[in-house]
Amino acid sequence: VDVFVNVSVSEGTPVSSMEAASCGIPLIATAVGGNKEIVNAKNGYLLDPNPSAKEIAQAFFAMIDHPENIDDQRAASRAVWDEKYNSRRNLEKFVMSLKAIRES
């Protein structure tokens, strides 16, 4: 998969975008809800909350015109997922937080 697109006008934290990031897929998404936490300039393109068809197409063209960036975008998507949404990592942080609370 070359790109994942989510142009919703409203979102919570989209599991579909998190799953795409976990697979190292670059993203194009609207700047609504949790998309703003997942998509950044390193792993894709964050569009206005209500983009025109032209704006969406321009994001595609930016990716097509710069294929040399795809490996970096893939790595950045995976890194966002690993840092913010990896359940193993989050469990460790949670357990350490509980231990710190108990010890204080």
Residue with tokens 């979102």: 11
Kindly report the average pLDDT of the chain as a whole number.
Answer: 95
Contact 2, 54 (CB under 8 A): no
Contact 60, 28 (CB under 8 A): yes
Q: What is the pLDDT of residue 31?
A: 97
Query: Element (H or E) spanning 57, and its range?
Result: helix 53-65
Q: What is the pLDDT of residues 42-72, one digit of tens each?
A: 999 999 999 999 999 999 999 999 999 999 9
Average pLDDT over residues 75-96: 94
Q: What is the pLDDT of residue 66?
A: 95
Q: What is the pLDDT of residue 29?
A: 97
Q: What is the pLDDT of residues 22-34, one digit of tens each?
A: 999 999 999 999 9
Q: What is the pLDDT of residue 53?
A: 97
